Amino acid sequence: MKKRILTLGILSILLITSCKKETAKSEPKAETEEITTAVPDEQPSVAEQAAETQDSVVTETSTETPIKVADAKKEVVKAVEDVKNQAVNKAVQQSETVTKKVENTTTKETEKATKVVESVTEKTSTVKETAQKEIDNVTKEAEAVKKEISTPAAKAPKQLTQAEKITRGKTLFTTGICKNCHNQTKKLIGPTLVIIGSTYKKKKGRIANFLQGNAKPIVDPKRFKMMKPNIDDVTRHMPIQDLEALEAYIMSFAK
């Protein structure tokens, strides 16, 4: 500032001095008017000079101020830009966070839904499998029943004729243990088949029932002890057809 004031002071002195010189030249008085008009004409040029000088002085002596202003301006612009940028960045970040949240929520919901669908699918398939197994079992059972119905003859015991029964009975009697104690006509440990057959014919008993253990002895009850083990260990475990065959064979000797 001091420099400025100094410069302005110098300039004013210069101006005044130049004015005085002109005034001195224009004397005598006759030329006063001319001079008066001339002076103002020259004055702008002096003013211009002064202005130029001032400009140059200003640029030379105080270049700091314009630069500072420019810098300040730049800083302000920068600050404004920074604020703008910050605001934009914040907005972008917020929108990103929201987008992420939305994405997360959507993903979670989708995962949940997928899990539910999967578990339902699993359950459905399990139910299907169980149902299929049950269907298979029922089908198998139905097929088995069908077979049984369609082939009753195959399962049913073959009905033997009386002659066949006697033949079968003879084979069982002679190849088994019975012959150790029983003979057709000769008394051994047990009574003869003639006696047994005749007794049963007379009393209308059933030998098959006795051999099954379901009927009491009627031939020689006092000696039943000897016969009993054969019923318990052998004859009661034989199929009814074989017992009936033995019965037919023994009865064939009845008189």
User: Under the rule (CB under 6 A), what is the footprint of ligand HEC?
Assistant: 176-178, 180-182, 189-191, 196, 207, 210-211, 217-220, 223-224, 226-227, 230, 234-235, 246
Three-state DSSP at 157 gives coil
From the CB of 131, what's the least distance to ligand HEC, in Å? 55
CA distance 173 to 192: 13
* CB of residue 164 to ligand HEC, shortest distance in Å: 18
The alpha helices in the chain, defined as continuous H runs, are: 2-25, 32-61, 64-150, 152-155, 162-175, 193-203, 207-212, 224-233, 240-251
Closer residue to ligand HEC in complex, CB, 11/246: 246
Two tokens, residue 123: 């359950």
Q: Which is nearer to ligand HEC, 11 or 178 (CB)?
A: 178
The nearest distance, CB 161 to ligand HEC, in angstroms, is: 21
Report the length, in residues, of the chain. Answer: 255
Look at the block and give the residue holding tokens 């002096």. Answer: 46
Query: Which residue's Cβ lies closest to ligand HEC?
Result: 178
Q: What letter does residue 176 receive in the DSSP assignment?
A: S
Which CB sits closer to ligand HEC, 14 or 176?
A: 176
The C-alpha atoms of residue 166 and residue 250 are separated, in whole angstroms, by: 8
| Alpha carbons 63 and 71: distance in angstroms, whole number | 13
Distance CA(50)–CA(54), nearest Å, equals 6
Cβ distance to ligand HEC smaller for residue 11 or 205: 205
Which of residues 168 and 191 has its CB atom nearest to ligand HEC in the complex?
191
**Shortest Cβ distance from residue 197 to ligand HEC (Å)?**
9
The distance of closest approach from Cβ of residue 191 to ligand HEC in the complex, given in angstroms and rounded to an integer, is: 6
Q: Closest separation between CB of residue 201 and ligand HEC, Å?
A: 12
Q: Which is nearer to ligand HEC, 11 or 166 (CB)?
A: 166
